[in-house]
Amino acid sequence: MGEDGKVAPNGDKKPVRVWVDGCFDMVHFGHANLIRQAKLLGDYLIVGVHSDEEIAKQKGPPVYNQEERYKLVRAIKWVDEVVEDAPYSTTLETLDKYDCDFVCHGDDISVMANGQDAYQVVKDANRYREVKRTQGVSTTDIVGRMLLVTKTHHKREGEDLPDKKTMNDIQKDATGHSPWTGVSQFLATTQRIVQFSGGRVAKSTDKVIYVAGAFDCFHIGHLSFLEKASKHGDYVVVGLHTDAEVNRYCGSNYPIMNLHERVLSVLACRYVDEVVIGAPYNVSNDLLKHFNVSLVMHGNSKVYADENGDDPYGEAKRQGKFQLIESQSSMTTAVIVQRIIEHRKNYEERNRAKEKRELSVYESTRKNKGFPDAI
């Protein structure tokens, strides 16, 4: 029960209903963490998702279309209800229509095309709650990674990096210097993983399904596959390959998102019970026994041989525990990258415009609080 619960006419405490809204473009773990934190503030969480038309009007074209975004948000495990085509600026009328006590947002600013705060009205009415924004990720940042074809986001200290000029260009061109969308390093912690984990342990009677892959830039194809896989058993374990392994079989600048980012994105899905971080590429007999796996499943994506040219699912096939399933989605991470590359100018302009609006509001806020100009 949320701490702001009201008393119903019969004397019982009225469930606290929380409203969250957004574009939720390229739905990532930062979005999921906002939703998770919002759910902790109440009992029932409603998520309003903006339409393609509304997003294009306010900030430029979205990468994922509205039907993809609606379905992806519904699959986040803390969401109770999704409202489609939600208004970009949250009004008191919207909160009242859905009987919500307040709206929750991160501690970054949401700026409309006219430069105004999209939440000012509800802030003035004291029906606004703020939670901490997830550092190290934003849709703008992810789009920037794809535009620049860079792997710096999963390089470790001591490894070869681009020269200084290239790094400066990445910082400037991908997302600029806004404190909310600027390039920053995502730091994985055990606490965050525990927060995202459902905590349910497989029972001895559960039919365990095991799937493995990159699950890079979690998208509608991944979701469709996991939803179908979950219907074949009681407990779904997802093995996530290391960045080096994904780069071996996908090549180019893949993965776009590093291992720890991918872990949280997959854990947020309501169809996933457990994640193996850095899972071995070959599904061995030891792995099958360890998780008491009943069935290993694979979707539409190509099955690449291991470094020795062997089938990674060979053992599962020998045991009669392997099954291909059709996710009925043609979406892949490569398709998303292609969408962005084909419309490069639109997305570069979108990133620049968003950066400019945010910096303007940020500097104005600092001056109003008496802080010196940022350097």
Range with the poorest average pLDDT among 204-208, 220-224, 326-330, 355-359: 355-359
Judged by average pLDDT, the poorest of 174-178, 216-220, 317-321 is 174-178
Structure tokens at 151: 């792997």
Would you state the CATH architecture of domain 190-324? 3-Layer(aba) Sandwich (3.40)
* 278-290 per-position pLDDT tens digit: 999 999 999 999 9
Two tokens at 177?
């210097």
Please check whether residue 321 is in contact with residue 32, taking contact to mean a CB–CB distance below 8 angstroms.
no
pTM: 0.80
Give the CATH fold of the 6-131 domain: Rossmann fold (3.40.50)
Would the pLDDT of 157 be above 50?
A: no
Strongest mean pLDDT among 104-108, 140-144, 273-277: 273-277
The whole-number average pLDDT for the span 114-142 is 83
Residue 34 is predicted with a pLDDT of 95
pLDDT value at 8 more than 90: no
Q: Name the band, by pLDDT with cuts 50, 70 and 90, for residue 172.
A: very low
User: What is the pLDDT confidence band of residue 339, given thresholds at 50, 70 and 90?
Assistant: confident
Give the start-to-end residue ranges of the domains of the chain. 6-131, 139-187+346-368, 190-324
Phi/psi of residue 314, each to 5°?
A: -55, -45
Distance from CA of residue 80 to its chain's centroid?
17
Three-point CA angle 210, 213, 219, nearest 5°: 105
Domains 6-131 and 190-324 alike in fold: yes
pLDDT at residue 175, rounded to an integer: 40
Which residue, among 90, 84, 96, 124, has the nearest Cα to 110 in the 3D structure? 90
